[in-house]
Structure 1
């Protein structure tokens, strides 16, 4: 099996890292619970434009009116707080020991994504890393999947043996479908949005759940 895995909120707890950093920043700068809620909402799970998040931090916490500096500050905070999900790297080790191949396929700027990967020690547990900011193409463009398969040396593999696993329907599931591979969605307890198309091939509350469903040959999940 070939595993293509998203990074943020799939292998590492990016949203938890942002929330933990934001709570500290708000407390340090005399903000309120309402400020914290607004900052976390503005982040939108990492999908909001970074300048929008920076502006919320500047306006609510009285930071210097420097959007780029604010972006650098909260990105650094995420890197400092990010952690790999418990057990998921061990699961990847077990899959690779059994002959599977695995690659990280992540959207984002190089230094930020590489920083998270380094902090969590992920490189030792996968066979390749593909970062959109380094490749000039990002999910859901299927070319990023082709880059990952080439990096793994498996461009001719049966696409039914390739799984794109991630938490974002509009990016991870969409890119898997566009590339003609199987799709696994990490729901984190959310319901699938039918506006994003049919339910993915495997659905689990956590990444470990998705991996277990697929390896057990029972990909269909509620």
Structure 2
């Protein structure tokens, strides 16, 4: 039995970490609360490419550092601000003890995403992971899901589950890879019906569903 999970805003609260990073970044440069709010809005919950984000940030605040340098600094710091709730870590432990293989499938830069996996404690709770930058392919492409399965010591031949909050990357991507899906509805798209097998509002509910031998 294979269960694959998205990372950002599924297993970890990326938005909370980003808000704390933005507050630190502003404090270090003498910026104000309105500048923090502007960065959070510009980030758009992680939907804006970070190369574009830091180009805009550098221009707005007339910073001496290059956009690439700012982005590298972000990738070094953000993983240190990421946490995974103890209840999630414990639930993943129970899932594996009950016979599941557990993996992570995530888009993003290798240093940033692997840093999050290690700093959050997830590194000890999963069997493997696939990061788009490291593998050269991005969700929703089915190849990334297959790579994740292989890193967990299995394949998608026997199916499995994908759990995530993104309708295109996680739900449609998982279905395209032959997986059943659970959508984490974060309340950002009222009335949206993504076509997942199950819809929940918290990853703990998704893990509980899997642990009932779906």
Q: TM-score when scaled to structure 2?
A: 0.90
Whether the 8 Å contact between 1:39 and 1:56 is mirrored in structure 2 is: no
* 1:1-222 map, 5 Å: 1-155=1-155, 157-159=157-159, 162-191=160-189, 194=192, 198-216=194-212
Q: Secondary structure at the match of 2:102?
A: strand
Moved segments of 4+, more than 4 Å: none
CA RMSD of aligned residues (A): 2.0
SS in structure 1 opposite 2:77?
helix
Stretch deviating more after TM superposition (166-175 or 59-68):
59-68
Supply the distance in 2 between the matched residues of 1:127 and 1:119 (Cα, whole angstroms).
16
Q: CA deviation at 1:77?
A: 2.8
* Secondary structure of the structure 1 residue equivalent to 2:38: helix
Q: Distance in 1 between matches of 2:151 and 2:76?
A: 29
The alpha-carbon deviation at position 153 of structure 1 amounts to: 3.3
Q: TM-score, normalised by structure 1?
A: 0.87
Q: Secondary structure at the match of 1:173?
A: helix
Aligned pairs, number = 214
Q: The residue matched to 2:140 in structure 1 has which SS?
A: coil
**Separation in structure 2 between the aligned mates of residue 62 and residue 77 of structure 1, nearest angstrom:** 21
1:35–1:102 CA distance, 2 compared to 1 (3 A): same
Which sits farther off after the overlay, 204-213 or 13-22?
204-213
Unaligned runs of 5+ in 1: none
